[in-house]
Each structure stands twice: as C-alpha cells, then as structure tokens.
Amino acid sequence: MAERSPDALTREPIEVGHLTSGLAGAADGAIATFVGVVRDNQDGRAVQRLEYEAHEPMAEAQVAQLVSNATRRWGLSAVRLRHRLGSIGIGEVSVFIGVASPHRAEALEACRWLIDTLKAEVPIFKKEYYVDGGTSWVEEGTGDAGPG
Amino acid sequence: MRVTVLLFARPRDVVGASRLEVDLPDGATAGDAFEALVRRAPGLADMKSRIRCAVEGEYSNWQAPLRDGSELALIPPTAGG
C-alpha cells in the first residue's frame, strides 16, 4: 500500500488551537482552516451524537495522497489534517484541516478542495444516533453532498 | 483460493461481520466475491450500486481479478467531515 498519514485519524479530541499553532512559517502569509463540528440536527431530526469509523489503513493512505496532491497543486508550505473516529458529541470537532501558504488564494482553495475530496473519497463512515433512539448510517453518496 | 473481505458501516451490519474469509474458484473477480457474500446475506444485493470495491487498499472495480490471499474491502458511501 502507498505511503500513509499515520496521525490523520484519532480517537482523542481534536485540539484546533494546538493544530493551528506553528503551521505557518516565516515566508507564509496565510493559514486557512476548516473545522467540522457535530450539529444537533439532521433533516429536522434531533441528533444526540455521531459515531465515525474508517477503513483505517486505506484512509491513512488516501489522506497522504490528498495532502501530497494539494501540496503540489497549490504550492503549499504545510498541511495538517485530523479526523476523529469513535463516538463524538454535539459541538465536538469531527475534522480539522489547516493549510499554510505564502498567499491566501491558494490556502483557501486548497482547504476547500481537501474537505470536499475527503468527504467523497476517504473511506470514513458516519452513523447518526438520534434523540428519539433511532440510528442511521449516513449515505449521502459521493461528491459534495451538502453542508456538514 | 481464499480471500479476505472487509466490511464497514451498513454492509457490515447486514452481513453481521466486519471481516470474512471467502472461498472462491481460481480466477474469481471482486464481483464474484460480492455474489458469494450475497448468498450469505441477501440484503446486500440492493446495495451493490452504492458500494465501491477496494482491492489491497486501493479503489478498484468489480471486474478486478482476485488471487489467493487478496484483501477486498466493500466501501459504502463515504461520510467523513
């Protein structure tokens, strides 16, 4: 299998401040970040928590590939990406993407591309647990299926 | 030959296992392995159009040939983020 990003997946809380600090070097003019958080509703149904799982070795390899592609395409200085696995509650961070580059346009575009491509391609799966006791695997299909 | 099938999310719930060893005739494809799983868990059949297959950790297609010891993963719609 291809090179992996061994720290891309975590079962610990994601510390946004910690991941953002030190991301930019002296020659960088921009850090763009995307932070995904768990929302308390989906299609009008009250959500209690989410559970994420992954094909972990494949996801780590895919993330490494995405980071490498984005770095090359936009000339990025640094990329940090973490996705949470396991059970996570409302308001908690599910994913962090941070990108540093000399100028803002590249950082913003790359950040958007990374989250959209992660959602569509990286084998991470999400189960919603509702306040009413029901559960559902989220199967929005591939591509950017909408908010969140 | 014998291949390992990895299952996640809803397909895993339907089959009732996250990892299975499946015996197949030589020359079998990823699609043949899927059909073997459908015989165990008929509920999988309806999901095929939404499942991508990955062989040895790389996205592939149902025509991909397997060999003894291959690892086939069934990847349902991804939902990271």
The pLDDT of residue B31: 98
Is the pLDDT at A142 greater than 60, yes or no?
no
According to the model, what pLDDT value does residue A145 have? 39
Count other Cβ atoms within 10 Å, centred on residue A117. Answer: 19
Chain A residues in contact with B71 by the CB 8 A cut-off are none
pLDDT at A148 over 70: no
At residue A3 the predicted structure's pLDDT band, cuts being 50, 70 and 90, is confident
ipTM of model? 0.96
Calpha distance B15→B17 (Å, rounded): 6
**Beta carbons of A36 and B10 less than 8 Å apart:** no
Helix H or strand E encompassing A116? helix A104-121
Q: Name the residue in chain A with its Cα closest to that of B47.
A: A139
A90 pLDDT more than 50: yes
Percentage of chain A beyond pLDDT 70 is 93
Nearest to B76 among A1, A95, A125 (CB): A125
The pLDDT tens digits of the residues spanning B51-68 come to 999 999 999 999 999 999
- Its sign, for the CA torsion B71, B75, B79, B81, is positive
One-letter amino acid at A33 equals: T
Cβ contacts of B80 on chain A, cutoff 8 Å? 52, 54, 83, 95, 118-119, 122, 124, 126
Chains A and B form CB pairs within 8 A to the count of: 74
Q: Are A25 and A101 in contact (CB under 8 A)?
A: no
Whether the pLDDT of residue A6 is over 80: the answer is: yes
